[in-house]
Amino acid sequence: MLSQKEALRRKFAQADFTDDVMFGLIMSQPEICKRFLQAVLPAYDFDHIKVTPQKYLKTSYVTRAGRLDLLCTNENGTQFNVELQMVDEHNLAKRSRYYHALLANNMLAPGEDYQNLKETYVIFLCGFDPFGLGWAVTDYQMTANHGNHILGDGTHTLVLNAKGDWREVNDELKGIFQLVLKQRATYGHLGLEIARNIKDFKESKAGGGKYMALAGEFWQNVWEDAREEERKEIVPLFVQKLAKDGKSQTEIMTYLETELGLSEDEAQEYYQLAMTKA
């Protein structure tokens, strides 16, 4: 069985734009992030944008699915959360609701007026058509059942569907879609630049270390910081992630026992719980 370090090295060697860790590392580069958001929301001004560092996301924006992939804020305080979704878990709408709540929860101090809440955009970049509608770009907002009145609560959910109809999609976003579909980027300039960035990152001396630190330390840090009742939620999520990464039951059980210090019975209990929730 591969050690954790060997497994991470193999994951790094195979990583492309659709790898969650690589996606976060590359997209968190301010210029890349800015150009991506500009392609998605051309009416917005992204000249002044702040990207939240990955190391902060793993401590302050921990979700039931792990850390946020990418979070940035413009000069008006509007927040943009970009999530790469390669597997259809049939829960995109509920994920959107949860992410918006998470952003809002970290936006206000206790007792602060709700009017100070800024707009939030949750942007799902999907390698599948989540609702079978064929639309490449869809902006969801809360509206009334009668008429077209928009509630105006400041929440926007954008679904970018790489499997959708590209005819009205700009070239920069088409290039991104090509990367999501594991194709060579031939449209626009951004997709090609991202592909070059990934290649350079993987060939750099520091690239492997940064990747493995972010991939390997996240769950360990969350585990160490969690209270006992929180660990009951965290371990099944961790097991599900390992299973999605192709790890066998034996490999997962061994990791739980050696890295998290669980007994064989505890590891078995958590594994069965995670498989029930999956």
Q: What is the pLDDT of residues 122-169, one digit of tens each?
A: 999 999 999 999 999 999 999 999 888 999 999 999 999 999 999 999
Count of C-beta atoms within a 10 Å radius of residue 264: 11
**18 three-class SS:** coil
Q: Rg (Cα) of the chain, in Å, rounded?
A: 20
Which residues touch 241 (CB under 8 Å, ≥6 apart)? 66, 219
Enclosing H/E stretch for 120: strand 120-126
Tell which residue, 39, 27, 30, 31, has the closest CA to residue 158: 39
pLDDT per position as a tens digit, 15-71: 999 998 899 999 999 999 999 999 999 998 898 999 987 655 654 555 554 567 899
The DSSP symbol for 51 reads E
Task: Please state the domain extents for the chain.
Answer: 4-203, 228-277
